[in-house]
Amino acid sequence: MKPVYEEELREDAVYEVAKKMLIAARTAPKGRGHDTTVLAIVRRKGIEALSEKMKEMARRDGVPQ
């Protein structure tokens, strides 16, 4: 039997909560009744790439960092 470590359980729990948060966000009221929100969960491996993309978009759009 393979052992299950606390870190793995913690990551699974965070993922389960994140999924519920996405559902809650999707069902929340939107401005003017339009739903243009894009929702996603980024796992640990994708955080750095997402961060770099957001910085790139901020520079492109002139948003102070």
Between CA 58 and CA 37 the distance in angstroms is 18
The per-residue pLDDT for 28 is: 75
Nearest residue to 26 via CA among 17, 18, 35, 14: 35
pLDDT tens sequence across 24-36: 988 877 777 777 8
The per-residue pLDDT for 29 is: 73
Q: Which residues of the chain have a pLDDT value below 50? A: none
Q: Model pTM? A: 0.65
Q: Which residues of 42-53 are buried (b: 16+ CB within 10 A; e: fewer)?
A: eeeeeeeeeeee
Radius of gyration of the chain (CA): 17
Between CA 19 and CA 7 the distance in angstroms is 19
